[in-house]
Amino acid sequence: MGNDGGTIPSRKEILNFTQRKLGGVLAKSDVSKKERELWKLAGAFGYCQLSHKRLSKPIVSDYMGRLFNKEDVILYLIAKRKRKKARKSKKSKELKDGSDEKKRHNAKEDTSEDSDPFPHLRTMKDLVELNIEYNEHDGTVKCPLSGKVFHLRSEKDNDINQLQLCYLVPCGCTVGKEILDQYLDVEYKKAHVSANKRKSRCYVKMRCPVCGSVTCGGDIVDINTRDDTEKERLAERMRDLEDSGLTHSLKPQRKASDGHTKRKGDPKDNIKKDAKKQKLI
């Protein structure tokens, strides 16, 4: 599925690839597109999606539950901002100049920006820092609720299938999905949410079972989910947040120079939206 007509790589092939290529920093120039796809499949849990280095704390995650090293994201954002600034000053110079050829050249450069694999990462507010019991030496994560240990870099089928983790926004506490689902079940029952609505992670306010801070059912993110329904839900959650002027971390979007939020919406609308969702329950 979604393999662009190519052969589907076996898990062994993927793992051999990761072992061979991912011991340290992945040199960008000698990696083909196919190899990158292989890496994506195998390395989603144990490696930073941006730098391809092994995960090391502090770890951050975007709205789709992808994992990154915070340090690498900061470097990426600085470089991105520098490129943007350079483009802007070049553009204004060329506009003053008024040369059509230069304008065309400019348009070409604008398209090249579209190749950014993570255009949704604009500021650190687009990420949540995880409160995760991660041991970077052996690549394990311990669930603070159940004590269960997850092996992020394991080669065993069983370990890979067990990799079901999620985190809560905004606190970032990371727990096993199974135990969190049990907790949610109790919370939803308390809020009289019907059984079929519970599966869709609806917006019911609750306390994080790890740190006690306020969160809600809709703000739970499955890490590297393979479930298409959950992927759709996460994308819809992000659209709702953007419409309300909020980022993934629930912080307001960056203000434009005129003092208004860059994207449409008002944070207050989110509260209304939450209320609306609760009525639907």
The residues binding Zn ion (CB under 5 A) are 171, 173, 208, 210-211
- Residue 143 or 208 having the CB closest to Zn ion: 208
Question: Measured from the CB of residue 161, what is the shortest distance to Zn ion in angstroms?
Answer: 26
Residue 185: its H or E element: helix 177-190
Please give the structure tokens belonging to residue 21: 């290529």
Token pair of 31, please? 């990696």
57 or 276, CB closer to Zn ion? 57
- For residues 129 and 58, the answer to whether their CB atoms sit within 8 Å is yes
Pick between residue 210 and residue 223 the one whose CB is nearest to Zn ion: 210
Decide: helix, strand or coil at residue 148: coil
> Which H helix or E strand runs over 95?
helix 70-97
Map tokens 């390395």 to a residue: 43
Burial 175-193 (b: 16+ CB within 10 A, else e): bbbebbeebbeebbeebeb
CB of 183 to Zn ion, least distance (A): 12
Smallest gap from residue 257 Cβ to Zn ion (A): 35
Q: Which residue lies nearer to Zn ion by CB, 42 or 208?
A: 208
Closest contact distance (angstroms) between CB of 129 and Zn ion is 11
Cα torsion 212, 180, 68, 115 to 10°: value is -120
Nearer to Zn ion, 129 or 269 (CB): 129
Q: How far apart are CA 251 and CA 214, in angstroms?
A: 14
Smallest gap from Cβ 206 to Zn ion, in A, equals: 11
